[in-house]
Every structure is written in C-alpha cells, then in structure tokens.
Amino acid sequence: MALQEAGAERARKPKLASVVAETLRQRIGAGEFVPGAKLPSEAKLTSVFGVSRTVIREAIAALAADGIVEPRQGAGLYVMANAASTFGALGGAGTHKISVALNVLEVRMGIEIEAAGLAAVRRSSSQEAEMRETFNEFGRLLEQGTPTGRTDFAFHRSIASATNNPFYLEVLEALGSRTIPCDVASPWGTESVLTYDYQAGLHEEHRAILNAICDQNQDAAREAMRDHLSRSQQRYRQRLDEQN
C-alpha cells in the first residue's frame, strides 16, 4: 500500500517543463525580467535548470502560448509587455492545482457561452472557414496521435474572433492556452487525460458548437458551448475527487 501511495504521489508531481515554466513565470512576475527584456539563451537555460533542451523548449512554448514571452526569429526570447497583467498572472503560482483549473473554466463559461451565440450571427464567411479549419486540424492531429491542445485553443479563439468584439478575443488570449485540458504543456495534462477517447469526445463537442454556429442558431450555439464547458468542469471535479 505504501508503495502504491508513493507511486501516486510521484504521478501527481508536475512535469519538469511545468516546473521550469513556473519558475520563469515567477521571476518575470517579480520583475527580474522586465517587459521587453531578453531572456537567457536556450543553452543558458538548459545549464541553469539542469534539464534537456526539449524540456526548455516545452516550457518556453507554454509561456509563449500564454503571451508571457515572444520568440523572435534570430533575435532570441523576449518578455511581452503584458506579461505582468492580471490575466497573465493566471498562469502563475499554484496553477498546477485542479481547483485553479476549475476557476478558470468558470470564467470561460461566463465569456465563451455568449461568444458562441454572438459568433452564430456575426461570423463572416472567412471566420467560419477559420473555425472549420481549426476543427479539421484537431481531427487530423488526433488521428496522428499528436497533441491537440494548441489546436483546441485555436478553435475557441476563432469563435471569440467571430464575435467581432475585440474584447472577447482579448480576454480569451489573456487566459491563454494553458486553460485547455488536453495539452502536453499543461500542468494538468497526464496520460490518464490525454487518451484518444478523451480527445475524441472533445472533438465531438466541438462539432456540435461548430454546426450550431454555421447554422446561425444562437440558442443552439450557446447550449453546445455550455455543454462542452460543463463537461470539462465535471471531468476536472472527478479528478479533484480522485486526488482527495
């Protein structure tokens, strides 16, 4: 029993990339690296943290997805101007807790349900095409066994964009793609979550949202988004109960 408990405890520890990302996030939040400052090179970070380049790249990808840092081709890695903003801080200390994920989902429900309804009546043909493209890309990555987290976020982002209200998009982008459960860069991502069946279920939930928006059915779009995010809440609550 003791060995099983020890194994479970090890399984709950955050991944190395999450630890590196969290440390960098805290240092940026503390002002050690101010907006516009250049971060140490990948080689330097590898040496400082004593991890592989793969771990550093995964950590940087998570920070970039949150809008905390920006890789510039041939120039290095720079801290974004909004890195210390309130929303950017959502990825800060303690975000490996599932309770925080639930709080973020609650915020998303307040934003994305109405966004789906607005997108149903406001989206342009090009915006509809973007939604379809991100939806299809999710399916393609799923069949390849490739992580779908970023495409998942891109799908939700395309809906926010289709409201043609820039504040919906701004808030969603500030929350960042780490709010997406099925992402290897997420501190909540585990093998028990990142299964084919789990992600296939998400894809079908996305399909219902997409179909309602394309049909210009406001009520159905809101309901499909509500169902999708409510199911995510249920999945997280189940995981939280399993840990207690």
pLDDT digits (tens, 9 = 90+) for 173-183: 777 655 664 44
Buried b (16+ CB within 10 A) or exposed e, 27-60: ebbeeebeeeeebeeeeebbeebebeeebbebbb
Least confident window among 27-41, 130-144, 219-233? 27-41
Q: What is the pLDDT of residue 188?
A: 46
Confidence of residue 128 (pLDDT cuts 50, 70, 90): very high
Please, are residues 142 and 213 in contact by the beta-carbon 8 Å criterion?
A: no
Confidence band, pLDDT 50/70/90 cuts, at residue 126 = very high
Greater confidence (175 vs 105) lies with 105
Q: Using 50, 70 and 90 to split pLDDT, how confident is the model at 163?
A: very high
Q: What is the pLDDT of residue 97?
A: 60
Window from 23-37, 132-146, 153-167 with minimum mean pLDDT: 23-37
Across 22-36, 46-60, 91-105, 187-201, least confident range: 91-105
Give residue 183's pLDDT: 46
Average pLDDT for residues 206-229, to the nearest whole number?
Answer: 98
Q: Please tell me the predicted confidence (pLDDT) of residue 87.
A: 45
Sorted by where each begins, the domain ranges of the chain are 2-79, 97-243
Confidence of residue 64 (pLDDT cuts 50, 70, 90): confident
Pick 92 or 199 by higher pLDDT: 199
The rounded percent of the chain whose pLDDT value lies above 70 is: 77
- pLDDT of residue 219 exceeding 80, the answer is yes
Is 140's pLDDT higher than 90?
Answer: yes
Per-residue pLDDT band at 218 (split at 50, 70, 90)? very high
CATH of range 97-243; options 2.102.10.10, 3.30.70.270, 1.20.120.530, 2.40.10.10? 1.20.120.530
Whether the full predicted model's pTM is greater than 0.85, yes or no, is no
25 or 129, which is more confident? 129
**Distances 194 to 102, 146, 160 between C-alpha atoms, Å:** 18, 10, 25
Instruction: Work out the mean pLDDT of the chain and round it to a whole number.
Output: 80
Average pLDDT of span 216-244? 88
Mean pLDDT of 108-127: 96
**Overall fold of domain 2-79:** Arc Repressor Mutant, subunit A (1.10.10)
Rounded Cα distance between 165 and 123, Å, is 11
